[in-house]
Structure 1
Amino acid sequence: MTDKDKWLDWAIRLQSLAQNGLAYSKDVFDLERFEEIRQIAAEMLVTPSGLPIETVKELFCNESGYQTPKIDTRAAIFKDMKILLVQERDGRWALPGGWCDVDQSVMDNTIKEVKEEAGLEVQAEKVIAILDKKKNNPAQSAHHVTKVFILCTSMGGEFVANSETLACEYFELDKLPVLSEGKTTAKQIALCFEAAADEHWQTRFD
């Protein structure tokens, strides 16, 4: 682990402790101390991120209640043993998906994200894997993230370019494009291929 990674981990831990303290503490002086700790955690991210303190606080300190991991849902859709990927605005590719909205279940969010990013109506079939992003994806995040991969069946639809994605296309496992590895890795895609080929698949998790 690099010094930058350690710095991020410390800031995340401080933010979590401060948020939990703000959620449960009743003492006015303790609340002031937890607010100060949260401010320090945000300031710790200003230098490595290069972002203004206001932006860091908006991204990093905008939640209330007990701190829990954020959920990211990803859909695996196959046709002729090729998997559907969407091209993001930076030109890289990923499984369609994104943050689970606060009013959505994992299944509903997966279906919604596919419709928004790939233009397809899908039916969610089974959970392929529930994976910790920090253990499986190279990109660091200011939030702890749990990634849920869902095998889906396309029911029809057509891609339309939108604010999030430039294109969608089916790929063979050994002919993958440049991936947005903070969102989808080749290993995760290979896992989806395994699940699609195994009718007795058991959900992987870590």
Structure 2
Amino acid sequence: MITNAILQIETELQNRARLIAVTKTKPVALLREAYDAGCRRFGENKVQEMADKQPQLPADVDWHLIGHLQTNKVKYIAPFVSLIHSVDSLKLLQEINKQAAKHNRIINCLLQIYIADEDTKFGLSPDEAEALLNAPELDQLPNVCIIGLMGLATNTDDMEQVRREFRGLKQLYDKLAQTQRPNVQFSELSMGMSGDYQIAVEEGSTLVRVGSAIFGARL
């Protein structure tokens, strides 16, 4: 089932966006099945779960932290994380830079933008994101690189609302991508999950985060 689901999604994406298999709460055996089906990008919500799974899988897996990240947890993933999708403060960026430097790494990050009509989501406003990208403090962070934006659409059956939210995020991406800083190099727009990734790709997503459409609904 997992293999067929991955192949179907990859066919739908047609190389317009890349698939991140959202593996939160899934046992390592299922991750290995996804790996054997060709998947190399895994997304986890919780730091501890990612840190536990990482040594149990091949070294060529790209690990994406897609959930809310607390500063005191950064140290556990700094040695290996490929991309942090959920940066929502300068303070968090500073901690990522500090921990990345300890491992002689540059960690790629996305700014999480609040686009949903819900109170439970995290993220920066467009103005806050622009202010962060222009903050003088960024000059002191050589071990991070901000490569784009991430957003979570409203959990709704109104797909036109979802499309509007994605379209607005793409417009913000295009605006902020003009920022000229050594450690700001936009190339990725992370939006779209199992229920709306097709719309996200139509609106310009480069990374889709798909869990239940691959592994089935969470128990």
Same fold (TM over 0.5): no
Provide the TM-score with structure 1 as the length reference: 0.28
Normalising by the residue count of structure 2, what TM-score does the alignment of the two structures yield?
0.27
Larger Rg: 1
> As a proportion of its length, which structure holds more strand?
1
